[in-house]
Structure 1
Amino acid sequence: MIGRSGAASDVRPDGARAWWKEAVIYEIYPRSFKDQNGDGIGDIPGIIDKLPYIRDLGADTIWLAPIFQSPNRDNGYDISDYKAIMPEFGTMSDFDRLMARASALGIRIILDLVVNHTSDQHPWFQKSRASKDSPYRDYYIWRDSAHGHPPNNWPSAWGGSAWTFEQSAGSSYLHLFSRYQPDLNWDNPAVREEVFSIMKFWLDKGVSGFRMDAITMISKMPSFRDMSPEELKAPEYVYAAGPHLHDYLREMNDRVLSHYDVMTVGEAYGMRAQDIPLFTDSARRELDMVFAFDIVHVDRQGWRKVAWPLSKLKEIYAAAGRPSSPDSWNTVFLDNHDQPRAVSRFGNDTPPFREASAKAIATMLLTQCGTPFIYQGEELGMTNLPFDGLDDFEDVQVPIEWDAKVKRQGVDPEAFFESLKGLGRDNARSPMQWDTTRNAGFTTAHKPWYRVNPNYTEINAQDCLQKPDSVYHHFRDLIAVRRKYPALVHGAYQDLDPNHSAVFFYSRQLDKSKVLVLINMSDRGFTYESPLLATASLVISNMKHHGVAKGVTWLEPWEARVYAA
């Protein structure tokens, strides 16, 4: 294996550029991707079957959401055995076949590393709760409290207390998410050794790195003091303020990651923008990239879905384009398993505009600074689901939040439900829409594990593949353009019209190579003028080009163009 002298250095010891900077990563949510054995649940053989589809799109790396043994309280993010495959997904032999087939197609695989917490069914926790004298007791965070009251006022990230009292154990355990996901005690060196062993197990199987779930929460505030009223408004910043977070990440890098040519991307929940370089500066030897949440929080205030001006989006991307460290590197994403569908959120998913706006935001995604992440179905322009009531939701987070917000805090139920429809995680978890057959070609079972979006007869991969002007083909062409123009990967970023309320116009420049990106982010057409357009050459557009005369052009609703300048 090739070692790395730094976590985010631009050049590896063999002289080649860090491969993950030039990668295009495709996230697969296995449960919803493709069911091969007909039980209604997506599986690893289904992923193997569709690898050529991903290769043909142009993605060269796959991020797999958790495939490990789990009671599935939180769709695999509650792990009961880190070195075993969930039987619903297949076997370890299936995983080995996936690795071999992906490698043959030139595709790398990264896995979800979920080590802030485990399932309450994990043997470690079962032994931990059994006795205060158990050597596994200190694998988790237990605190005694009078009459079963919570040891402090910390709320779960999803609502309710972050503590659950165990009568048999005589004390409470900490869980920053659901009560089925007890937090590990990273201050215990034995826990860290267990995590490093898990990482080595999968890296030795050939995986190319990890997406690290809730990694910013692994170090806890040692005093476990009550939060102030102000802190309770955004408790995630307290959760991510543990004193040893960076120490533990550096130890992880030194002990494990530096011995492999891999990438790491951390979920930076609770991190402010100014904190990001602390993780990604190569001199610190921690992570390669993080997922910051500025963009995907642009339309939310707490639980509320709110309107957002384009200027806010521009400010976030402009800040990302000015890294405080030359070695820092960004991720670019709009969709993932925890976010609603991008076209429904940042575009317009109604029939007159869906395809054009899906292509427009794809143009934005693949021309910004950083490594782009595409979520399954995003390349088809898949949309949010229709919801009629709470029973339509499958996500474990929904009843917890409903109880906390509506029943305990008195939030208006209709307003909360409307925001749930627009922001809920289930929007991204409906089965992949492959064709027009029953269940969108996802499964031959009578009923899939979760309902299919009824618009699958209009939006599906089979249809997209057959139409040269489809959303899929625009994604594919944009990925090819990104690889053709290094400025779109390594170039400097400049917003060329930061004050325009509908146009997003920016440049990427590397040495003498310059690329212009022009996007109408609105439902209206209008004339636009810039002298930079007068001498630029069109590279790609999402619709028939109207031409430019002396720097003046007409932009259709959601028109997007990329120029070589």
Structure 2
Amino acid sequence: MARKWWQDKVVYQIYPRSFQDSNGDGIGDLPGIISRLDYLADLGVDALWLSPVCQSPQDDNGYDISDYQNIDPMFGTLDDMEQLIAEAKKRNIKIIMDLVLNHSSDEHRWFQEAKKSKDNPYHDYYVWRDGEEGVLPNDMKASFGGSAWEWVPELGQYYFHQFSVKQPDLNWENPKVRREIYDMILWWMDKGVGGFRLDVIDQIAKEPDKKITTNGPKLHEFLRELSKETFQKADLITVGETWGADPERAKRYSNPDGSEFSMVFQFEHVMLDQEEGKEKWDLSPLPFVELKKNFAKWQKELHGSGWNSLFWNNHDLPRIVSRWGNDKEYRVESAKMLATILHGMQGTPYIYQGEELGMTNVRFPDITHYRDIETLHMYEERLEAGYKKEDIMKSIYAKSRDNARTPMQWNDSTNAGFTTGTPWIEVNPNYTEINAENETKDPDSIYNYYKKLIKLRKANEIFTEGEFHLLLEEDSQIFAYTRTTETETMCVIANFTATPAPCRLIEKWNKTEKLIHNYNTENTDGILRPYEAIIYIDR
């Protein structure tokens, strides 16, 4: 497989609303991001993926776009965006935009026109079905609760929405819609954008009459056309969010020929700690052995025929150190261990803002402190269904998207240095202890450990090229694997638990070069300490 320039790069995801506020209104913005570019350059990241900054009524925190070619005033202006692209470029950092192409906001001018009449040229930009009020086209449900169909009395029709009622689905069957989308993407490419993350892109080929939302029959036809008309005209980083991907589909999405995307986000590993067949809120212990085998499957299947994205966190997921690490007595050790495991694999690592500091989940006292539409819907639905309030809050503490959305913790001043005003969502109270100012100064911090991992990836080709082999498959505590090229072998060994774990691999690998270790003292007895992680290399 020909090496691509982006394969040894590391991406940092920014949730702009919560990253840095520059004007005291309590909401993060583009000038705020610009002011923190030196911090990101020091960390060593190569690209910044921004969650949506396009104009939006913010019904779903920007994933409901009302103008694809403008910046939402809460984040700044188009001039600010152009300045961010230019300033990032000076630091060899690319900007990756988050595009929502499955649906728009109901406040987008296309939908405003579409509602006027069935004869309006924009009507067919969306998915409509004739009917009568109260008689739904079918029983499909929206992801945020309720029916996926919304009645428009003046038209005598329902429109289809897979998410909020304010997020009508675009009709990709209409070539005019596709052309509008391509022209918009080319416009951003001309502005100097270095790539795109495509939100729920495997849902664009929906066929609601057949109750098909994900992986519709025309999906790859649409994606190949999208890539040919846009991405292939420049050398971009592109990543598709595909909740419905399996390895075979992922090989098509991330084919090395560039016919679709550079890489794919798949989510099998992050769905392991929920009860099978139930919602994410129905908590279940992590089946650790299954987690290892899942990673191994994706590493082996895509080696040489596709490309993985590597992530523990994003704006939709809880903080990994609270989820599968130990955010109490072993917060630092477990955060470094989780980073070690992930960054040692083949693929492009994604660091979500604050992950490099070991930021944790938040436990607000009650539902009034939460802002996430999905969390609030679930709370009301489960209350009505008779769930106990404390059980609902337990699920929220574990899985709410707001865990990832509390403000970035810059220092120990008021509001963690995020804003001089009142933040749109409260800061996690532990910011006085966990913050960037403390960690950048401390050579043993999680931040400096991430910095070292990023440097290792760029300095050692084996991180990009090496073939993956899982070791100790059935071990209930140890995550160990090798990466092998013709001339080198690297071994990653980690204790995923707070209990010491005897490991027969240590004696053998202690004789080789050690690339990184999350404890300051040598391992001399062959017993992995709580959350201990080491990467060795035999050259």
- Structure 1 and Structure 2 fold alike (TM over 0.5): yes
Q: CA deviation at 1:284?
A: 7.4
Identity of aligned residues (%): 43
Equivalent position of 1:234 in the other structure: none
1:269 to 222, 225, 243: 243
1:137 to 98, 109, 123: 123
Q: Per the alignment, do residues 283 and 61 of structure 1 end up closer, same or farther by CA in structure 2, a change over 3 Å counting? A: closer
What's the TM-score once normalised by structure 2's chain length? 0.96
- Tell me, in whole angstroms, the C-alpha distance in 2 between the residues paired with 1:144 and 1:403: 31
1:40 aligns with 2:40: no
Equivalent position of 2:447 in the other structure: 472
Equivalent position of 1:436 in the other structure: 412
Q: Secondary structure at the match of 1:562?
A: strand
Equivalent position of 1:183 in the other structure: 169
The root-mean-square deviation of aligned C-alpha atoms, in Å, is 1.6
Written as runs of structure 1 = structure 2, the 5 A alignment for 1:30-429 is 30-221=16-207, 224-225=209-210, 238-283=212-257, 285-301=259-275, 302=279, 303-323=281-301, 326-350=304-328, 352-407=329-384, 413-429=389-405
Task: Indicate if the aligned counterparts of 1:277 and 1:325 stay in contact, CA closer than 8 A.
Answer: no
- Tell me, in whole angstroms, the C-alpha distance in 2 between the residues paired with 1:266 and 1:448: 31
Q: Deviations over 1:488-515 (max 9, x none)?
A: 1221011121111111111111221111
Q: Secondary structure at the match of 2:133?
A: helix
Q: Secondary structure at the match of 1:507?
A: strand
Equivalent position of 1:563 in the other structure: 536
Task: Indicate if the aligned counterparts of 1:24 and 1:60 stay in contact, CA closer than 8 A.
Answer: yes
Q: Deviations over 1:379-433 (max 9, x none)?
A: 00000011322222201112333444543x5555543332122111010001000
Q: Secondary structure at the match of 2:286?
A: coil
Task: Indicate if the aligned counterparts of 2:468 and 2:484 stay in contact, CA closer than 8 A.
Answer: yes
1:495 to 460, 467, 470: 470
- Tell me, in whole angstroms, the C-alpha distance in 2 between the residues paired with 1:183 and 1:504: 42
Equivalent position of 2:459 in the other structure: 484
Task: Indicate if the aligned counterparts of 2:332 and 2:446 stay in contact, CA closer than 8 A.
Answer: yes
Written as runs of structure 1 = structure 2, the 5 A alignment for 1:470-549 is 470-530=445-505, 532-548=508-524
- Tell me, in whole angstroms, the C-alpha distance in 2 between the residues paired with 1:178 and 1:314: 35
Q: Aligned letter for 1:451?
A: E
- Tell me, in whole angstroms, the C-alpha distance in 1 between the residues paired with 2:134 and 2:158: 7
Q: Aligned letter for 2:124?
A: D
Q: Deviations over 1:163-222 (max 9, x none)?
A: 111222321111100101100000000100011011101111111110000100001126
Q: Aligned letter for 1:256?
A: T
Q: Secondary structure at the match of 1:183?
A: coil
- Tell me, in whole angstroms, the C-alpha distance in 2 between the residues paired with 1:176 and 1:406: 23
- Tell me, in whole angstroms, the C-alpha distance in 1 between the residues paired with 2:98 and 2:59: 17
Task: Indicate if the aligned counterparts of 2:515 and 2:536 stay in contact, CA closer than 8 A.
Answer: yes
Q: CA deviation at 1:546?
A: 2.7
- Tell me, in whole angstroms, the C-alpha distance in 2 between the residues paired with 1:149 and 1:462: 58
- Tell me, in whole angstroms, the C-alpha distance in 1 between the residues paired with 2:142 and 2:20: 33
What's the TM-score once normalised by structure 1's chain length? 0.91
Runs ≥4 residues deviating over 4 A: 403-406, 409-413
- Tell me, in whole angstroms, the C-alpha distance in 1 between the residues paired with 2:419 and 2:126: 39
Task: Indicate if the aligned counterparts of 1:439 and 1:452 stay in contact, CA closer than 8 A.
Answer: yes
Q: Deviations over 1:240-273 (max 9, x none)?
A: 1311110000101111111111121000022334
Q: Aligned letter for 2:239?
A: V
Q: CA deviation at 1:545?
A: 3.0
Task: Indicate if the aligned counterparts of 2:232 and 2:258 stay in contact, CA closer than 8 A.
Answer: no
Runs of 5+ unmatched residues, structure 2 = none
Q: CA deviation at 1:283?
A: 4.5
Runs of 5+ unmatched residues, structure 1 = 1-9, 12-16, 228-237
Q: Aligned letter for 1:386?
A: R
- Tell me, in whole angstroms, the C-alpha distance in 1 between the residues paired with 2:303 and 2:155: 48
Say how many residue pairs are matched: 533
